[in-house]
Amino acid sequence: MEGNRYLTFALGKGRLAKKTLELFEKIGITCEEMKDKDTRRLIFVNEQEKMRFFLAKGPDVPTYVEYGAADIGVVGEDTILEENRKIYEVLDLGFGRCRMCVCGPASAQEYLQKRELIRVATKYPRIAKDYFYNKKHQTVEIIKLNGSIELAPIVGLSEVIVDIVETGSTLRENGLEVLEEVCPLSARMVVNPVSMKMEHERITRLITMLRHELGRA
Ligand code: PRP
């Protein structure tokens, strides 16, 4: 997979990056340097494949890819929907499966049914707005938070939340439940539109190999 220039990958930090590297290993692309947990280095190179990898905060991955600082990114679909960047979504990687849901105490169900003007706390204001305004036609007040979203209805900041549900244990342990499902989610590979043209052969070959590997998994 030799090319003239480095193909740069931005990977969302954490579990997604780990899963992505495991998947890449299966198709023969390794990055040993990246496995060193104590390293403070930010960028890792595979000289043989002419590939560079870096880790970024999830919401920053689409930004790096849109501006072409990374040719390819791997990030959750939630982040892609929320960031709304000019990037191509090319592959569902199948892992990181979860759901975007409206959650709250069971008692909040009637506010949804009656389409009341409620407060919705979320890390995903764009997704929440799209869901309530365009799909449900319910006027709500969106309150942006940056984490531990489940706290909001417990302490009275909002009636419901829009958040990711994976196992459901955070909800259960806090007396909350899924009230409505917004959409299913998983990890996606995204590509810069110019890179897709300039490095078409290398990128499509990579996508084909990954697709093949995922098909077998
Ligand atoms: C995410 C999400 C939920 C939780 C869902 O939070 O926001 O809180 O995971 O997972 P579960 O259904 O398996 O319990 P994350 O751990 O990413 O941290 P955050 O609260 O800071 O967003």
What DSSP line would sit under 103-121, residue for residue?
A: EE-GGGHHHHHTT---EEE
Residue appearing with tokens 């077998």: 216
Separation of alpha carbons 42 and 187, rounded Å: 22
Task: Please determine, for residue 123, whether its predicted confidence score (pLDDT) is greater than 80.
Answer: yes
- pLDDT per position as a tens digit, 26-80: 999 988 877 777 888 889 999 999 999 999 999 999 999 999 999 999 999 999 9
Question: Mean pLDDT of all residues in the chain?
Answer: 94
Please work out whether the CB of residue 148 comes within 6 Å of at least one atom of ligand 1: yes
Ligand 1 within 6 A of 78 CB?
Answer: no
CA dist., res. 146 & res. 122, Å (int): 8
Q: 104-122 pLDDT, tens per residue? A: 999 999 999 999 999 999 9
- Given a cut of 60, whether residue 1 has pLDDT beyond it is no
Does ligand 1 lie within 6 Å of residue 170's CB atom?
A: yes
pLDDT of 181 above 60:
yes
DSSP 96: S
Distance 167 CA to ligand 1 centre (A): 9
168 lines ligand 1 (CB under 6 A): yes
User: Do residues 143 and 152 lie in contact, with contact meaning Cβ atoms separated by under 8 Å?
Assistant: yes
Helix, strand, coil in percent for the chain, rounding step 5:
40, 30, 35
What does the pLDDT read at residue 216? Answer: 61
